[in-house]
Structure 1
Amino acid sequence: MSRHETGEKLRDTLNALAKARSPDHDERNDAPLLVALKRWQSERLGQSFTGLLADDRYQPAAEFFLSDLYGSGDVSWRDRDVTRVLPTMVRWLPEKALVALNGALELDLISHQQDLLLCEHLPGPSIDTESYARAYRASCDEALRHRQIDLIVDVGRELERLVKVPLILGVLKLARGPARGAGFGQLQSFLERGFAAFRHMGPADHFLRTIEQGERQVMQRLLNQHADPFGFGQTRSKRQAPPNGASGSPRAATPRTT
């Protein structure tokens, strides 16, 4: 695929994301239930990956990969900024960087679409493990859920390779001032945090394997109606949300996968 074709694919993904997030396209985007669902999932994932978050080597990558990329907060600013700066990115960034960015955006798109479907089957904003599991089974597109997890690994592998390319880090540093002056400070900071986190971590095998295996297991346990799908040692009488009793701290804000 040429650089131009990759740029066009990025533009298509950005357009699909803008449509998926639009209340005009889907009124569920304005519903409090969607906010509650994203927060619940973030807190669940924070509990699932406490081991990575507690490890000095993996903590920065976990906080970026499980929070900045796929957290419960509003990232529409990122999509708008990428859309505005896309022609420049296509000219200056290596094609592998564009591919990684498109993968991250596609992952966000699938996650958001699946969240909207989940909302159709939730009884209300008071979510617990049992109601979540029922809604998950009723709305699950298994192929897309597997694609979701595949993308986590693919994007992680690309980031692992990209941080070894001196040119990219140099371009990011040179672009810091102009980016902020042009109103892209948030996007610039987002990119720098990601590269710094993965550079700090080094080899990503354990990090990515932990996430992939954990989320595939959760997916199968949810579909198989396991009594404790997330492996938190819960009983049916204790399935209250959030599953870890968190209050939404940054360390608990993690990606929307399953």
Structure 2
Amino acid sequence: MSPPASAADRIRSHLDRVQQLRHQARTAGMDAAVSAVKQLQALRFRATYADLIQDASCAPATRFFLDELYGVHDFAQRDAQFGRIAGALERLFPEAVAQLAVDLAETHALTEVLDHEVARHWLTLDADMPATLRYTQSWRLADDRPARERQLAVVQHMGRELQRLTRMKPLRLALRMMRNPARAAGLDALQHFLESGFDAFAALGDARRFLDTISERESRWISTLFDAPVEDCSRALAAELARVEAWK
């Protein structure tokens, strides 16, 4: 039996998958479809968690998840930094953050795989179709419930680890002391991700209610998008997106 893959190997594997998907999207002319899917999902997240963004204690952690994990950003710089230092992660950063990097890389890869699969089906459907109906049908054609559930499980694990690690004051201090070395080594995007996560969960305090809320709401949406009648699901999604305007 071969030994289990190291943290560095797992990080590189996940990031290689993301790079492959980006290349495939460019060569297949899927960039606009992937962007459309990500934009719709980002709006849905903003609506679903608008109340947590308005909650002073939950707002930093909510923005961390929406911006650093599911934001409509170009994460190429951060990915490159993770890939470059994957083999030296335990040496350059406190050992306890290694699993956070693995969780981030896996979440990132799962998100890209699922978004690209939804986008592939999105392109096969009538462009004049309402976006919420087009998204619902694309989601169902992608048909990967286990990956959706794994994505949620990894995010939950990342949240629990951040909760645990923020209680270790020496670790938080060590991470702050890494700012200048990280900047000098060209690892500022990685450093920003780690500090943002620590700061967000330090402000949160007890993360159980926050993580339980994410688990309950995302599980409900997974069930709705897979199991509800298509038209009902499309209407529910349209109503959710409309809440974004109500919270502005």
Q: CA 1:47–1:134 in 2, change beyond 3 Å: closer, same or farther?
A: same
Q: Residue in 1 aligned with 2:185? A: 182
Three-state SS of the structure 2 residue aligned to 1:203 is coil
Q: CA 1:167–1:118 in 2, change beyond 3 Å: closer, same or farther?
A: same
Q: CA 1:204–1:125 in 2, change beyond 3 Å: closer, same or farther?
A: farther
Q: Residue in 2 aligned with 1:33? A: 33
More helix by share: 2
Q: Residue in 1 aligned with 2:12? A: 11
| Alpha-carbon offset, residue 48 of structure 1 | 0.6
| Alpha-carbon offset, residue 228 of structure 1 | 4.5
Q: Residue in 1 aligned with 2:71? A: 71
Structure 1 residue 156 corresponds to structure 2 residue 159: yes
Greater RCO structure (CA 8 Å; 6+ sep): 1
| Alpha-carbon offset, residue 75 of structure 1 | 0.8
Structure 2: gaps of 5 or more residues: none
Amino acid at match of 2:175: L
Structure 1 residue 53 corresponds to structure 2 residue 56: no
| Alpha-carbon offset, residue 185 of structure 1 | 2.1
Q: Percent identity?
A: 27
Does the CA contact (< 8 Å) of 1:114 and 1:140 recur in 2? no
Amino acid at match of 2:202: R
Q: Distance in 2 between matches of 1:173 and 1:94?
A: 11
Q: Residue in 1 aligned with 2:90? A: 90
- Give the counterpart of 1:244 among 224, 239, 242: 242
- Per-residue Cα deviation, 1:150-186 (whole angstroms, up to 9, x for no partner): 1111111111111112232222211111222232222
Does the CA contact (< 8 Å) of 1:160 and 1:204 recur in 2? yes
Q: Distance in 2 between matches of 1:30 and 1:129?
A: 19
| Alpha-carbon offset, residue 11 of structure 1 | 2.5
Q: Residue in 2 aligned with 1:256? A: none
- Per-residue Cα deviation, 1:106-128 (whole angstroms, up to 9, x for no partner): 11111111111111221349762
Three-state SS of the structure 2 residue aligned to 1:243 is helix
Q: Residue in 1 aligned with 2:225? A: 222
Amino acid at match of 1:172: L
Q: Distance in 2 between matches of 1:125 and 1:43?
A: 20
Q: In angstroms, what is the RMSD of aligned CA positions?
A: 2.8
